Amino acid sequence: MKWHHAGIQVMDLNASEHFYSTFFGFEAEERITLLDEEIVFMKKGQIRIELIKSEEGVCGESQSIHLSWEVTSLDHWISDLIEKGLQPIEGPLTYENGVKCVFYQAAGGEWIELIERVNKSS
C-alpha cells in the first residue's frame, strides 16, 4: 500500500488552485467532474492533493485538518513565501525534539504546516 492523495473541500476552486500553484509550486495534474462535483488534482513531486469544490468549504471555517510537509530549510521557505506575499499565521516554533515548524492558512481555510527536522534522529 502507498499514499495516493489528500482530498480537501474548498469553496473557491480557482483561488485554491492559484494558492497551491503560486506559493508551493503545485501543478494541475487532472480536472474531472464527478456527480456534479468539480475536482482538480494537483501534484508536486510525489505529493498529490485533490481540491473538491464544495459550498461548505473545509468543515465550515474550522481547523479540523491540516497538511504537513517536511522541508530541508524552514528559514528558506519562510523567506520565499513572505516574498510571494504569504505570511505565517503561527510560528515559527521550535520544539524540544528539534522539530521547527510554521503554519499558513490556504485559500480554502485549511492550514499548511511546514516542518524541518533539525535533529534528524527524531
Tell me: the pLDDT tens digits for 68-104? 999 999 999 999 999 999 999 999 999 888 889 999 9
Between CA 100 and CA 107 the distance in angstroms is 23
Q: Is residue 29 part of a domain?
A: yes
Q: Is residue 44 part of a domain?
A: yes
This prediction has a pTM of 0.80
Domain holding 83, by residue range, is: 6-117
Between CA 74 and CA 85 the distance in angstroms is 16
Q: Is residue 79 part of a domain?
A: yes
Q: Is residue 1 part of a domain?
A: no
Exposure letters 74-108 (e unless 16+ CB within 10 A, then b): beebbeebeeeebebeeeeeeeeeebbbbbbbbbb
Q: Is residue 90 part of a domain?
A: yes
- The count of structural domains within the chain is 1
CATH of the domain at 22: 3.10.180.10
Instruction: Give me the amino acid identity at 65.
Output: I
Q: Is residue 122 part of a domain?
A: no
Q: Which residue has the cell 468543515?
A: 59
The pLDDT, as a whole number, for residue 39 is: 92
